[in-house]
Amino acid sequence: MPAPHVDMRGKTVMVTGFTAGLGRASALALAAMGADVVGVCRNAEKGQAVLDEIGRTHGSAKIDMLIGDLGVQKDIRRVADQFLASGRSLHVLYNNAGVFNLSRTTTADGYETTFAVNHLGYFLLTNLLLGKLRETGEGRVVCTASDGYKLGGRLDFDDLQAERKYSAFPAYFRSKLANVLFTQELARREAGRGLIAHCFHPGFVGSGLAKNNGLFARFATTLISPFARSPAKGGETGVYLCTAPEVRDNSGLYFHDMKPKQLAAVARHPEDAARLWEVSLELTGLPANRGMNTDERPVV
C-alpha cells in the first residue's frame, strides 16, 4: 500500500542524498504532494538532473538545491547557513544520505567515513536547523535507518571510529544503530516543543548504496537488484513519516512499512542514546547544552 497522499502545499521539506535511490524517489513523491523540496547533494550535475525531472513531472513544485558533502562538517555548516539565510520556513528535515564502505576511509575532519556521514552528518545538520524546525510548531525530523541496527552489537564508545578494527558490515550496522539512538534522544529532548522525530527501515532496496566500492560491488549490486524493493517502495515509509498527520501522536519511534515496530534490545538503552548525543556534540564542536530541554540548561 503506498503512502497516503497528503496535501503538503505551503510546507518545505529538506531531503539529503536526493540524487538517487530513496532520496530521489522521496523527493518526487513529496513534490507530487505539493511540498516545496530542498535537495542536498554533493554533485551539482546529478542534483540538477533530479530538479529537472521534478520540474517536468510536477511543474508547479518549488524545488531548490544545496551542494555539500554530508561527511564534511564545513560543508554541512555552509548548507545550513545558506538555508537559514534564505529566511524560508522548514517543516521537515529528511536525513537520508548514507554510505557503505568496504574499506576504512576518513573524512576531511579525520573521522571514519561511515560513522561521519551516516550519523554525524544527520546529527550536525539537524542541530543546526533545530531552531528553524521549531518555528513552525509542527517540525519533523525523519531518519533513514535499517534493520541492520540489530546486527552490530551495542556501540563501542572507546572505538567509535573503528580504528582498532574495521569491518564494513559491522561499521554500517553500528551507524544505523546510531540513527535509531539519535532519533530517540532527539525525541526525548524535544518533547513538548512541537517537534517530532522518527526513523525507519526501508527494506532491502535496489539503490546506489555500495556502488562506490569498485567494479565488483557495482556488479554484485546490479546482480541482486531484481530481488530488491524499488526505491519508490522503500521510500514510502519515509514519505509517510514526512507527511502523515497521525504520526504526530508519538515521537522517537522506529517504523517499517508505515507501521511502528518494537526495537530490539540493542537499541533499548537510553544511557547509550544520551552518551552518543554528548560524544557527538564534542565531535561536531557544538555547545554542550545544544538541544537540552530543561529549565536548568536552556537551549543555545
Average pLDDT score over residue span 10-36: 96
Task: Give the tens place of pLDDT for each residue, 221-248.
Answer: 443 444 456 888 999 999 999 999 999 9
Strands 92-95 and 63-67: unpaired
Question: What is the domain extent for residue 278?
Answer: 12-284
**Do the strands 196-201 and 12-16 form a parallel or antiparallel pair, or are they unpaired?**
unpaired
Task: Evaluate whether residue 5 is within a structural domain.
Answer: no
CATH of residue 78's domain is 3.40.50.720
In a domain, 293, yes or no: no
- The answer as to whether 298 is a domain residue is no
Residue-wise DSSP of 213-262: G-HHHHHHHHHHGGGSBPHHHHHHHHHHHHH-GGGGG--SEEEETTEE-P
The tens digit of pLDDT for each residue in 179-237 reads 999 999 999 999 999 999 999 999 876 555 544 444 444 433 443 444 456 888 999 99
Count of the separate structural domains present in the chain: 1
Q: Cα 72–74–78 angle (5° rounding)?
A: 120
In a domain, 290, yes or no: no
- Could you tell me if residue 299 is inside a domain? no
List, by residue number, the catalytic residues: 172
Q: What is the pTM of this model?
A: 0.90
273 within domain boundaries: yes
Is 7 inside a domain boundary?
Answer: no
Type of residue at 46: K
CA distances from 16 to 37, 112, 288 (A): 10, 20, 26
Q: Report the alpha-carbon distance of residue 114 to residue 160 in Å, rounded.
A: 10
- Whether residue 99 lies inside any domain: the answer is yes
